[in-house]
Amino acid sequence: DNFINYRGSFSGQMVKQAPTGVSLENNQWQFDFPADGVYYIQVLAEPTDGQPAKKGIFKAMIDSEPPSVPRIKISNQKPKKGEIVRIKAFSSDSLSGTQKSFYYSVNGGVLLPFGEELAISFPATGVYKLSVRAFDNADNYSDSDLIIEVTD
C-alpha cells in the first residue's frame, strides 16, 4: 500500500507544497495516482487559531483494469430444439473483485443480469451467439462469446 501525506490548513491554503501529482484548487483535491492499487491519503489540518491539528486518513482504490474474460462452461453446445442448456460463467479480478451477477445476451440482444448460472432453451433450430459480460466492483467489464448450434 502507498501513502500520500498532505498538509493543509482549514482555510484551504497550502502550508507546504503538495506532492507531485496532487493539486488543490477551490478547496477540491485532484490526485494523479501512478498505477492501479490501494492508496491511503493522510491529511493533517493545522488550524491557524492555535487549536490542535486534526488528522484524517482516507483510502482510495484505483482499478482501471477489467476483470478476466469470462470463462463459459456449457452442458451442451449442440442441443436439440427445446432442450434445456445449463451455462455457468467464471471471472476474476485481483484488485476490486467481481460482481456476483453476470450479464447474458443472445444474438446481440439486451444484456440481462443473472447469477453465475443460467438455464435456457432455444425454441428454434439455428446458430445462436451467447454473449456473457462480467463486471468488477469498479464497473470495468469484459465480454466473452460462445456459439450454440441448435438442431432438430
- Per the prediction, the chain carries an average pLDDT of 84
Q: 104 falls in which pLDDT band (50, 70, 90)?
A: very high
pLDDT band at 78 (very low <50, low <70, confident <90, very high): very high
pLDDT tens across 23-54, in order? Answer: 666 666 777 777 888 887 777 776 666 777 77
pTM equals 0.75
**Cβ–Cβ under 8 Å, residues 21 and 27:** no
Strand locations in the chain (E) = 2-8, 22-25, 28-31, 37-45, 54-62, 71-74, 84-90, 98-106, 112-114, 117-121, 126-136, 141-150
Where is pLDDT greater, at 17 or 64? 64
CA–CA distance, 41 with 18 (Å, rounded to integer): 12
What is the widest separation between alpha-carbon atoms in the chain? 84
